[in-house]
């Protein structure tokens, strides 16, 4: 089975432009997480979904960030307008149904975003 | 308050030697899970090992073992017989069990391990 798929793998854009990051979770997984990794703050949760419904978006930095999950196989994270401080690696992760603590999160390869 | 603390920004180990990466955590939950992930230079996050708060035995997965000391709230990763391919960032993470559902992980800042030939 394919793992979590993210696109693009690398994105370079100019300040003020709109950026859309995409994620396809593993089939059958009903939890989807967006994380951001920076040198200063490490890995931090932005938002997560269960059955396509956002559960916790308290990690979304500000109104410039938005995330959607229109169906079980696709999610987007949009930044509009982008700023240089948004430069980071953005990870999508998914996990299978269940409430067990042991449920592993499977990470995608990440999207490295550079905002000039 | 920081939930996961990894106090070693960088570690060096000789090939074939064992190395311990430290992780301490903070939670008031009785039920929680602890994870270790490896991030090589290519950037992907690779799950290594899991320890549940109620697990009586320390977790082991091949060359990886977890030294779980509940009273001290520590969950150190031990890598035995280090290999050059073990050079990577290592992240400790926790999931608390007080909320229902498959909750997100909280990560430490990581430790960069370099294996020397």
Going from the C-alpha of A11 to that of each of A75, A94, B42, the distances in angstroms are 17, 22, 16
| Pairwise CB contact (< 8 Å): B100 & A99 | yes
pLDDT digits (tens, 9 = 90+) for A4-59: 999 999 999 999 999 999 999 999 999 999 999 999 899 999 999 999 999 999 99
pLDDT digits (tens, 9 = 90+) for B59-103: 999 999 999 999 999 999 999 999 999 999 999 999 987 556 678
B101 → closest Cβ in A33, A50, A89: A50
Nearest CA in chain A to B33: A101
| Pairwise CB contact (< 8 Å): A110 & B47 | no
Going from the C-alpha of B98 to that of each of A56, B32, B35, the distances in angstroms are 15, 8, 17
Token pair, residue B100, equals 């229902």
A45 → closest Cβ in B100, B104, B108: B104
| Pairwise CB contact (< 8 Å): A99 & B35 | no
SS3 call for A42:
strand
Spell A58-67 as b/e; 16+ CB within 10 A means b.
Answer: ebbeeeebeb
């Amino acid at each position: 089975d394919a793992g979590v798929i993210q696109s693009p793998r690398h994105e370079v854009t100019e300040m003020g432009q709109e950026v859309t990051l995409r994620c396809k979770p593993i089939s059958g997984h009903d939890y989807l997480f967006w994380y951001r990794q920076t040198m200063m703050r490490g890995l931090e949760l932005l938002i997560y979904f269960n059955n396509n419904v956002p559960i916790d978006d308290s990690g979304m930095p500000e109104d410039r960030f938005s995330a959607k999950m229109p169906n079980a196989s696709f999610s987007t994270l949009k930044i509009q307008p982008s700023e240089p401080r948004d430069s980071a690696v953005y990870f999508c992760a998914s996990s299978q149904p269940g409430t067990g603590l042991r449920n592993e999160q499977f990470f995608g390869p990440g999207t490295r975003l550079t905002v000039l | 308050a920081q939930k996961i603390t990894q106090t070693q920004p960088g570690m060096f180990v000789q090939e074939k030697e064992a190395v311990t990466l430290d992780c301490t955590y903070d939670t008031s939950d009785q039920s929680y899970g602890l994870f270790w992930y490896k991030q090589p230079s290519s950037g992907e996050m690779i799950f290594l090992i899991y320890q549940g708060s109620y697990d009586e035995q320390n977790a082991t997965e091949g060359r990886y073992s977890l030294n779980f000391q509940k009273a001290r709230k520590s969950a150190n990763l031990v890598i035995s017989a280090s290999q050059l391919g073990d050079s990577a960032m290592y992240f400790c993470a926790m999931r608390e069990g007080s909320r229902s559902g498959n909750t997100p992980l909280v990560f430490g800042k990581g430790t960069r391990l370099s294996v020397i030939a």
